[in-house]
A = this chain, B = another copy of it.
Amino acid sequence: MAAVDLTTHPGHLARRLQQAHYLLWNSMVSEEITSPQFAVMNALVAEPGLDQRTVGERVGLDRSTIAEVISRLTRRGLLTKARDPQDGRRFLLGLTDDGLRTHRRLTVRTARMNQVFLAPLSAEEQTVFFDLLRRVADAAEALRHPAEPVAAQG
């Protein structure tokens, strides 16, 4: 009986949290547009004309995944993709009118969904929750993308 209590494993809880969010999104926000797709559209509302790689960086998706997400959004006419005349490697991205409308519509619904999602916590707890979540995620991400490796010491 060397079994472990998974409710003390942050990774397990993170997975369950994300699954729960997925289901809630599906029922309260959209069955067509997923949360990562919304994140991509949102990045392009904030900074129109970004290229694929940079959008991925903004929303936290690797090069392969961002390519798939963008391909789906393009296929649905929510997003346009054009070669950068200045740099033939890049594709510049932008939202179509439909994409913009969709983003606006979903923004309202995500706000409602977030309220339901966080309802079990008090206002102060919600603040703490965000703080802890961000700190853990940022630190773990930093482990993977070690940024400027400060000149070797010792």
Contacts and interface: CB of A to CB of B under 8 A. Distances in A.
Contact of A20 (B8, B20, B140): B140
A23 to B, nearest CB: 5
A60 B16 contact: yes
B15 A18 contact: yes
B117 A136 contact: yes
Determine the interface band of chain A, counting residues with CB < 8 A from chain B.
35 or more
Contacts of A12: 35, 39, 59
A67 interface: no
Nearest to A22: B11
A125 B130 contact: no
Top 5 A-B pairs ranked by shortest CB distance?
A20-B140, A3-B46, A11-B21, A120-B139, A3-B45
